[in-house]
Structure 1
Amino acid sequence: MKSILIGTLLLMTITVQSQDTIMPLWPDGKIPNQLKTDEKEIHEIEGILRISKVQKPTIEVYLPAQRNATGEAMLIFPGGGYGILAYDWEGTDIAKFLNSKGIAGIVVKYRLPSDVSQTDKQNVPLIDAQRAIRLVRANAEGWNIKPDKIGIIGFSAGGHLASTLGTHFDERVYAEVDDGDNESARPDFMALGYPVITFGINTHGGSRKNLIGESPSEAMLEHFSNEKQVTANTPPTFLMHATDDGAVPVENSLLFFQALMDNGVSATMHIYPKGGHGFSLARNDEHLRGWTERMFEWIESLRK
């Protein structure tokens, strides 16, 4: 624990009082399921920053001013079909927006499944997600975060990863590397934006193929269809989706909402008639952009 905190303090000193800190998820040479290859991480800007072939996963921490801070934090999982990360569109822009509400925003640059640089690629995003939330809990005091007020938000395939973390947080998918791994990986609350949930009939084919391959077993399909993994211990959940989503059918959110209801888990869902897929903050849509306020109202309701 002490080594994690010292490392964090050093990184924060390097950033010279800036509001964000980039921190590696894993110590050098200890990235689970990683193979040594010539594969390189790629950053491309095509209207948004698209990151692919992630080799060194990180968390990028954005903290509100201390006097504005609520003590809450949200880890953010950008989408991109498990092929790329829409890193600013569904990542850093979301973190900055959360800061405006006094909530710490922590963008997770997680590894994307790779047949070239990983073993058991289907577990790799969850490995990084579990590690990320444990690392935030280990550093909560130094970042003015309450360790029991740490939530997550994910978009599209990032919503699949977030819902996987919310339903598989007790699954041991990697060996402990330091004291930080003694922390709980359970999110305290969870928000899912136009998420991939099921790997059944209404799935997003690209996300399923990238994570579990062309011809997955029935057991693998079941395991990663997260509507089938909900229990009474799944965190309270906020869902939002557009009915006309042509990439990830709205049935994904409906299936998860029903599973939450069936297991007695508190849930809120907002379904919009229009919006399509991948709308992020939807700042140019007067109706759709209201999802952010609805989410903050929901978070406030959890405080009572």
Structure 2
Amino acid sequence: MKKYFILAIFFSIPLLNLAQNHTLNLWPGTPPLQKEMNLQEEAVQEGILRLSNVQNPQIEVYFPTAQTATQQAVVIFPGGGYGILAYDWEGTDFAKWLNSQGIAGIVVKYRLPISKSLTDPKEVPLLDAQRAIRLVRHHAEDWNIDPKQVGIMGFSAGGHLASTLSTQFDHELDREKDPIDQLSARPDFSVLVYPVISFSEQVTHGGSKKNLIGENPSQDLIDRFSNELNVDKTTPPAFLVHAQDDQAVPIQNSILYYQALHASGVKASLHIYPKGGHGFAFGRNRGAVENWTGVLLDWIKNLE
């Protein structure tokens, strides 16, 4: 009881100046499924800020002004093949853009399964993703967020994590838990940008698959993380965007997920552009795909 009281104090400090961004640890102390190895996170800025070897998972929260706030929030998972995080290109840049639309943007610095400090690597990204959305709901009142309007956005392998959270939000492990773990981890909607969805050999992104579940995974493990196979009527509505000329993650990933959502009666919107390649982010100077964020905003505004 004493431990839970301390946790409640630690996670319940009101953040009064919502004009600034804030960074919070996902977990108090050593995160679950991790052993202390004194490893250091690495950050390389070469056009894109690439983070690797994450040991202390966090969320970085960006707030809109009070005058423009819609009370919606989007939790963002940058991509990087489960090997790095393209932290600004597919993370903080989008959080700031969401702010300009009155939406809180929360970037997740999640642990990557290739880290040597993890005791069960395949479970860790989902565990951090669940914790991130629960932490946002825990702070919803202080942050002027409606806990029933918390969506997620994922890019490439971050899209795989977002679709895993969308289909396995109630997946639980045998571990010590605190009151925040009792909150729902189900997203209210998802935005999947050139996402890895399937680990099926014909359509997957090999690097993401290898980094998450290893070189020779069992068929059961492949099926578990082929998220088109795990959609049901509880899966949240999704907006998917992909480029037809994507040479890294085939468009079949988005198509398979859309078809599964449609078959389960889940509302979904699929947008495929002829050009854009992979990793186009905002799509600047890449033709028609540059307009995808405007289409997304219309979709978010019309969510029911």
TM-score computed with the length of structure 2 as normaliser: 0.95
Asked whether the 8 Å contact 2:238–2:267 carries over to 1, the reply is yes
Please identify runs of 4+ aligned residues in structure 1 that moved more than 4 A: 1-6, 8-11
Asked whether the 8 Å contact 1:11–1:21 carries over to 2, the reply is no
Q: State how 1:196-215 maps to structure 2 within 5 Å.
A: 196-200=196-200, 201-215=202-216
C-alpha deviation, 1:8, in angstroms: 5.1
| Number of the residue aligned with 1:7 | 10
| Number of the residue aligned with 2:278 | 277
| Number of the residue aligned with 1:145 | 145
Mapped pair 1:190 → 2:190: yes
C-alpha deviation, 1:285, in angstroms: 3.3
Extract unaligned runs of 5+ from structure 2: none
Separation of aligned partners in 1, 2:298 and 2:173:
34
Separation of aligned partners in 2, 1:235 and 1:176:
28
Question: Could you give the per-residue CA deviations for residues 12-40 of structure 1, whole angstroms, max 9, x where no partner exists?
Answer: 47xx66520000000013x1100121321
Separation of aligned partners in 1, 2:242 and 2:7:
38
Asked whether the 8 Å contact 1:127–1:174 carries over to 2, the reply is no
| Number of the residue aligned with 1:69 | 69
RMSD over equivalenced CA pairs, Å = 1.7
Separation of aligned partners in 2, 1:241 and 1:51:
24
Indicate how the Cα distance of structure 1 residues 6 and 285 shifts in structure 2: closer, same or farther if over 3 A, else same: farther
C-alpha deviation, 1:179, in angstroms: 1.1
Question: Could you give the per-residue CA deviations for residues 252-299 of structure 1, whole angstroms, max 9, x where no partner exists?
Answer: 000000000111100001000000000111123352121101111111
C-alpha deviation, 1:177, in angstroms: 3.0
Separation of aligned partners in 2, 1:9 and 1:20:
17
Separation of aligned partners in 2, 1:17 and 1:188:
23
Separation of aligned partners in 2, 1:263 and 1:227:
11
Mapped pair 1:257 → 2:258: yes
Separation of aligned partners in 1, 2:63 and 2:219:
42
C-alpha deviation, 1:211, in angstroms: 0.2
Asked whether the 8 Å contact 1:198–1:224 carries over to 2, the reply is yes
| Number of the residue aligned with 1:244 | 245
| Number of the residue aligned with 2:168 | 168
Extract unaligned runs of 5+ from structure 1: none
| Number of the residue aligned with 1:125 | 125
Mapped pair 1:219 → 2:230: no
C-alpha deviation, 1:182, in angstroms: 1.0
Question: Could you give the per-residue CA deviations for residues 160-181 of structure 1, whole angstroms, max 9, x where no partner exists?
Answer: 0000000000110363532111
Q: State how 1:35-74 maps to structure 2 within 5 Å.
A: 35-74=35-74
SS in 1 for 2:105: strand
C-alpha deviation, 1:67, in angstroms: 1.2
Indicate how the Cα distance of structure 1 residues 17 and 161 shifts in structure 2: closer, same or farther if over 3 A, else same: closer
Indicate how the Cα distance of structure 1 residues 185 and 17 shifts in structure 2: closer, same or farther if over 3 A, else same: closer
TM-score computed with the length of structure 1 as normaliser: 0.95
Asked whether the 8 Å contact 1:11–1:23 carries over to 2, the reply is no
Separation of aligned partners in 2, 1:92 and 1:34:
26
Separation of aligned partners in 2, 1:280 and 1:173:
33
